């Protein structure tokens, strides 16, 4: 009607923004997965590898803590927090969360048995539904969390989680994939440990069969008190008294070295201490039942202090 008017149009872009954010999160997710795989495969030390991926996980979720729980080796059914990463100005709960009784996390275990994740977006409803769980979480300052199981052969052998995530708070996929990677690394570490134990045990049996024993000589520089510790093979070779003290064993060992060879033995030990190198000395030794036998001692300086 001859008047100037202004037309304003508003468009709801919530769905588009959600799709855009989801796309960004997925791209970041892919980048993180590559980093997790590289860390777990390229870091030789298992403890270091776990701590690194937890730090990366906590940073991705912008969480207060990232953690790993494993069964207690002492108390059956209980759980220990074995690894933990904390954000700046966030208190650690590692020492407080040891030997968690099964009833305190039974709800979680039931969820894990269904191959699902524990996702808490609001702690308040738990006060009535699960008061013990609410109390344990509220004491730690937790308002929301995501936790996923690490399962093998139908059993939960560990679980991984983040406290108070501020990014991707509905998304457990990052944790899920990491749990699968971590299971592989855990099994690798356990297999290597078993192999090393088997290797060490086999070596000890072989050395025992070859009559090779281990000894430690301790010399106090102030008092000149000298003591020796023998392993079982050394005791057997020398027929050393089982209940003898370390001081008595030193006397037993060197009192049976012939006088003309004692200087050679002494020089070998001085050389070992002064030059910090492996030395070897061979000499006759008076065995209590076999008479004169030939011993070969090899040694390396372990520690050289002001007192020892």
The closest of 36, 14, 29, 32 to 168, measured between CA atoms, is 29
pLDDT tens per residue, range 16-39: 665 556 556 666 666 666 677 777
Query: Under 8 Å CB-to-CB from 282, ≥6 apart: which residues?
Result: 294, 295, 296, 297
Residue range 198-214: mean pLDDT, rounded = 74
The DSSP call for residue 159 is E
Contact 12, 156 (CB under 8 A): no
Joined together, the tokens standing for residue 208 give 């025992």
Query: CA 63, CA 60: separation in Å to the nearest integer?
Result: 8
Q: Which residues pair with 151 in a beta bridge?
A: 156
Query: CA 254, CA 265: separation in Å to the nearest integer?
Result: 9
pLDDT tens per residue, range 278-306: 888 888 999 999 999 998 888 888 766 66
pLDDT tens per residue, range 160-172: 999 999 988 888 8
Contact 172, 144 (CB under 8 A): no
Query: Under 8 Å CB-to-CB from 156, ≥6 apart: which residues?
Result: 109, 112, 113, 149, 150
What's the CA dihedral at 227, 232, 235, 238 to 10 degrees?
A: -120
Query: CA 243, CA 229: separation in Å to the nearest integer?
Result: 12
Joined together, the tokens standing for residue 271 give 């050389």
Residue range 267-287: mean pLDDT, rounded = 83
pLDDT at 229: 87
Classify the C-alpha dihedral 185-190-193-195 as positive or negative: negative
């Amino acid at each position: 009607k001859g008047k100037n008017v202004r037309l304003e149009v508003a468009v709801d872009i919530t769905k588009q923004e959600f799709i855009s954010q989801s796309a960004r999160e997925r791209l970041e997710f892919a980048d993180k997965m590559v980093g997790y795989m590289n860390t777990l495969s390229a870091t030789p030390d298992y403890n270091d590898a776990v701590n690194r991926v937890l730090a990366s996980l906590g940073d991705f979720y912008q969480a207060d803590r990232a953690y790993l729980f494993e069964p207690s080796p002492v108390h059956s059914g209980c759980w220990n927090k074995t690894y933990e990463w904390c954000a700046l100005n966030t208190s650690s709960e590692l020492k407080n969360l040891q030997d968690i009784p099964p009833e305190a996390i039974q709800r979680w275990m039931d969820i894990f048995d269904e191959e699902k994740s524990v996702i808490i977006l609001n702690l308040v409803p738990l006060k009535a539904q699960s008061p013990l769980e609410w109390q344990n979480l509220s004491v730690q300052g937790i308002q929301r969390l995501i936790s996923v199981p690490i399962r093998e052969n139908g059993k939960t052998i560990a679980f991984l989680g983040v406290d108070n995530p501020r990014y991707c708070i509905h998304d457990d996929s990052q944790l899920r994939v990491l749990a699968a990677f971590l299971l592989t690394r855990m099994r690798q570490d356990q297999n290597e440990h078993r192999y090393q134990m088997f290797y060490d045990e086999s070596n000890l049996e072989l050395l025992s069969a070859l009559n090779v024993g281990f000894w430690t000589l301790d010399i106090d520089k102030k008092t000149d008190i000298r003591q020796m510790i023998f392993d079982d093979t050394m005791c057997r070779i020398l027929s050393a008294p089982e209940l003898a003290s370390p001081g008595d064993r030193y006397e037993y060992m060197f009192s049976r070295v012939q006088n003309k060879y004692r200087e050679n033995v002494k020089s070998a030990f001085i050389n070992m201490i002064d030059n910090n190198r492996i030395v070897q000395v061979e000499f006759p030794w008076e065995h209590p039942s076999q008479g004169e036998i030939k011993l070969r001692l090899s040694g390396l300086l372990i520690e050289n202090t002001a007192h020892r």
